[in-house]
């Protein structure tokens, strides 16, 4: 019976792992070492059979990868990635590029062919997220500052690893790299990120708020694990790694109020399955291969440790961190793991690499895994040795460089630049969400349920209906993007042609710059809409009249669509800013207020009750919190109008305020006597 065999195998795995970890703990060795030793005892390298169904155990081990990455996401707030972004990106990029080159050169030195050498370099370039997370947790260093940078590098590595897999697939098939395929893969990955993060940040914290009302730990645990495995499955369907999907949804759940409770509930489940994962690594060790390729394994293990310590430390230091932090990061990343196995498997699947690469990758992973805790512990000693050994002028020069790089982050940009940058990111997110919705529509055109009426099942009708639904879903995004573009045009014109008191001749230049920016942006939006629509509609002739109808409908229902987008934006803002800050905090400074501020343009209708009234008579700021910062009238712009400025019909007003304030302020300015 299959059920009895699985129970037998699971009992053997957990009992042997328990015994080996007790010995490791007794002699102060890493627990992961005990799991790997247990896997070696259970694996095919031993003369007796202890496990009947190795595939089932490996499947359970995959669950350990998912839960480890999910746990990492729970501990990794999205704001932490922004704090370590520059150092993490520089270090990850340098590490991957240099390790690929070093691995390729070493492979060629061993006499291996070009394809084996390229895949070897790729295998050595990606560090093991699961191993590092486990090692840092065991040493109690998961929340230290250098660990934040390590987690940031690991996230960027996983992103770059997906792109690397696409590059290797194309290189294996054609022997060359196709920039177009790489660009498409990067765009698809960005869309996946945007869809999961934005939709998740809006909906998931509110879902857990609702579940928390029942005060049931069981419901909270099942909901968290359901989202974890569901998004991991979605990532797999889209040809991404389960680890990436699990990490993303973990980072989303980390923004909910119940994060500490969820962490405590999922930790025992994570520990059980992560133990099985490390056991499966030990089961992959083949003694014959270790003997046959002993010299390459030793050389490559040293290359991974030395190469990653040097490249990661140098990258983090270049990004502006001090010597101690840089070395701590480099020593913590000196290993390879699951992604190396994926790359080795890809080479075998495509039949372009030799069979010895996979067992070599496993052996190098085991050796570097065992070395990781000792390397992390050696940080203080190594830093102390360098402090004593390096010349004083060199150490002073390194400190000056670190302070110099850090000074760049202290130079606050102007308010206009700050707002343009903020709205630029919002437009980019809107663009990625639009791509995602059209991609869902393109997928839906290939699936026609049989229960639909025959008229709807006709391809042309089915495509039109799906396109209409996609356009309805994207209409709030289009309208919000148009408003942001109009607001950005005023700021960009002011940045390009600064306002100088007493000089008005630059106003024409600012007007031209603003109009050119709006025209170019709307042209790009129209082109992208037509291009994306071709993924759903097979005929452009049917799209033009439908597009006109949807445009008219969007203008008619503009207030409703604006409110829908505003509520979603407010919900996202609350998740990222308010929910995690449960403790009282000081009032934000002016740069903080500007980072949270939004701009909105509104045209004063002829029937508005505020026409003919000066700004001091309108209680806009008192009742809504928003302020009028500019007025466009007959082609002229008044920046920071005075309190005696009178509003007229047709004035285009630029409002500054927070996301929840602007819709109320707009309603107040366009209100008529009938309302």
CATH of 77-189+283-384, one of 1.20.1530.20, 3.40.50.300, 1.10.10.10, 3.40.50.720: 1.20.1530.20
Q: How far apart are the two ends of the chain, measured CA to CA in Å?
A: 75
With a CB cutoff of 8 Å and minimum separation 6, the contacts of 590 are none
pLDDT, residue 507, reads 66
CATH of 597-670, one of 3.30.70.1450, 3.40.50.1370, 3.10.20.30, 1.10.10.350: 3.30.70.1450
pLDDT, residue 587, reads 39
Domain limits, CATH 1.20.1530.20, in the chain: 77-189+283-384
pLDDT, residue 174, reads 64
Which parts of the chain register pLDDT below 70? 1-3, 45, 76-86, 162, 166, 170, 173-182, 338, 404-416, 447-457, 498-508, 540-544, 546-547, 554-555, 558, 561-598, 634-637, 639-640, 659-660, 672-675
- The token pair at 472 is 């309805």
Domain limits, CATH 3.30.70.1450, in the chain: 597-670
% of the chain at pLDDT higher than 90 = 3
**Rounded-to-10 torsion of CA 61, 66, 67, 73:** 150
pLDDT tens string 147-187:
878 877 887 887 777 677 767 776 776 666 566 666 777 77
pTM of the predicted model over 0.75: no
| 128 three-state secondary structure | coil
């Amino acid at each position: 019976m299959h059920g009895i065999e699985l129970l037998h195998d699971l009992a053997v795995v957990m009992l042997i792992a328990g015994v080996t970890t007790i010995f490791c703990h007794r002699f102060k060795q890493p627990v992961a070492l005990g799991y790997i030793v247990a896997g070696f005892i259970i694996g095919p390298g031993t003369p007796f059979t202890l496990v009947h169904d190795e595939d089932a155990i490996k499947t359970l081990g995959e669950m350990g990868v998912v839960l480890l990455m999910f746990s990492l996401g729970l501990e990794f707030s999205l704001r932490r990635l922004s704090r370590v972004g520059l150092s993490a990106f520089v270090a990850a990029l340098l590490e991957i590029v240099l390790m690929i080159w070093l691995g390729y050169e070493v492979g060629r030195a061993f006499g291996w062919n070009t394809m084996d050498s390229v895949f070897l370099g790729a295998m050595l370039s990606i560090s093991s997220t699961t191993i590092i997370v486990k090692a840092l947790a065991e040493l109690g260093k998961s929340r230290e500052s250098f660990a934040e940078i390590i987690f940031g590098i690991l996230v960027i590595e996983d992103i770059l690893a997906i792109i690397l897999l696409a590059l290797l697939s194309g290189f294996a098939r054609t022997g060359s790299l196709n920039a177009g395929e790489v660009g498409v893969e990067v765009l698809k990955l960005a869309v996946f990120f945007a869809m999961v993060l934005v939709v998740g940040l809006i909906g998931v914290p509110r879902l857990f708020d609702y579940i928390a009302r029942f005060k049931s730990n069981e419901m909270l645990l099942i909901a968290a694990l359901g989202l974890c495995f569901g998004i991991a499955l979605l990532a797999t369907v889209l040809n991404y790694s389960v680890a990436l999907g699990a990490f993303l949804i973990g980072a989303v759940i980390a923004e909910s109020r119940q994060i500490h409770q969820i962490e405590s509930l999922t930790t025992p489940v994570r520990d059980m399955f992560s133990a099985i994962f490390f056991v499966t690594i030990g089961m992959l060790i083949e003694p014959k291969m270790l003997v046959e390729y002993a010299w390459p394994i030793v050389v490559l293990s040293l290359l991974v440790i030395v190469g990653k310590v040097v490249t990661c430390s140098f990258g983090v230091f270049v990004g502006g961190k001090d010597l101690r932090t840089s070395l701590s990061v480099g020593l913590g990343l000196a290993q390879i793991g699951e992604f190396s196995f994926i790359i080795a498997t890809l080479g075998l699947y495509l039949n372009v690499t030799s069979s010895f690469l996979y067992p070599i990758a496993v052996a190098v992973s085991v050796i570097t895994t065992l070395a990781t805790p000792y390397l992390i512990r050696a940080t203080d000693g190594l830093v102390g040795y360098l402090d004593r050994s390096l010349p004083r002028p060199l150490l002073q020069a390194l400190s000056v460089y670190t302070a110099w790089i850090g000074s760049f982050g202290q130079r606050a940009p102007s308010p206009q630049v700050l707002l343009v940058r903020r709205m630029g990111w919002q437009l980019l997110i809107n663009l990625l969400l639009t791509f995602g919705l059209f991609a869902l529509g393109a997928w839906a055109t290939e699936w026609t349920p049989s229960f639909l009426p025959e008229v709807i099942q006709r391809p042309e009708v089915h495509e039109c209906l799906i396109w209409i639904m996609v356009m309805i879903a994207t209409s709030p995004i289009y309208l919000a993007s148009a408003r942001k573009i109009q607001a950005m045009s005023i700021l960009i014109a002011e940045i390009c042609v600064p306002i100088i008191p007493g000089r008005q001749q630059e106003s024409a230049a600012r007007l031209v710059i603003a109009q050119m920016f709006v025209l170019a942006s709307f042209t790009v939006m129209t082109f992208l809409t037509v291009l994306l629509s071709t993924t759903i509609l097979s005929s452009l002739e049917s799209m033009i009249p439908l597009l006109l109808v949807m445009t008219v409908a969007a203008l008619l229902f503009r207030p409703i669509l604006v409110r829908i987008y505003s509520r979603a934006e407010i919900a996202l803002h609350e998740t990222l800013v308010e929910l995690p800050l449960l403790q009282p905090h000081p009032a934000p400074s002016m740069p903080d207020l500007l980072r949270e501020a939004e701009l909105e343009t509104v045209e004063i209708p002829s029937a508005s009750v505020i026409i003919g009234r000066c700004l001091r008579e309108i209680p806009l700021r008192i009742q809504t919190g928003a302020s009028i910062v500019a007025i466009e009238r007959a082609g002229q712009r008044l920046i920071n109008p005075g309190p005696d400025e009178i509003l007229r019909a047709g004035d285009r007003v630029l409002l500054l305020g927070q996301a929840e304030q602007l819709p109320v302020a707009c309603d107040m300015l366009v209100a008529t006597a009938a309302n």
